[in-house]
Structure 1
Amino acid sequence: MNKAFKIIEDNIEEADFLGSVEENEIIEAENRLKLQFPESYKQFIKHYGLGDIFGEEIYGLGVEPLGIPSVIWITELLRKEMELPKDYLVIYNSGVNNEYHAIDCNPNENFGSVISFTEGISFKEQEINMEFSSFGEFFLKLLENNN
């Protein structure tokens, strides 16, 4: 995460982040969604809350869960609309082919990994693959590809 944070700070004029979020708001979100967020994602939320850089928007906390970019709102919406399993936290939309990315929050060997899936197709009908081993890896790659 330190490398990702350095890219943000070095390009702060390209960034639009909400700002830090308190620990109690993170705990409330975890309780509402019945998930435990991985540490790398918590670090992002604690530092930046949510926002975008280089036109890439990362969902997070710090706003009412009434729409994008609330991680709570989008996760609950896709749970209803496409039967997204309760173990996933939706963090990003690539803007291409309705592709979303989500963190696997199931406390198993893949805890914290990031998957991609397509909105509009039942989750059960999709072949889901792990794209990144952690939010930190996902976020750093996203920043490096756009920097």
Structure 2
Amino acid sequence: MILEKPQSFELKGNKGYIKLTIHEIFSESQNWNGGFSLRGALYIKYNGLTFCENNFYSSTIIIENFHDNLKQIYNTLCGEASYIPEYDDNLKINIKMIGQGHAEVEIDYSEYSENQLNLSFKFKTDQTFLQESLKNLSDMLKCFNLLMK
């Protein structure tokens, strides 16, 4: 099912950001974990480098788990939240609270093709940006839940 209004999640920080926009939900059948597969676009910007992957795949469960972990570290201002894919290991995001409301975001992206691409970088962010990211993720999950009913 192609979404009438694409759903986006963005994580901003100093010198960088990552944005995931979901365009399609494969609602015909559930994954083995109870979630649904998603297709979208991934945007990464860091220090003047801009990257876009137009056929990025994820699942509702991965988004939900990431949301729950991010909410936990936002509320407690300690710990780590990770976006960890089920099948592909092409994108990994780890957010670690480092004190006084600040966090370090580590992103690893790999593109497996004829010409392999690996991006690995870190940037700092704070709880004000995390609050916006949490709202994006909450809105995205609400949309998924409405569509799946």
For normalisation by structure 2, the TM-score amounts to: 0.28
Greater share of helix: 1
For normalisation by structure 1, the TM-score amounts to: 0.28
Q: Which has the larger radius of gyration?
A: 2
Greater share of strand: 2
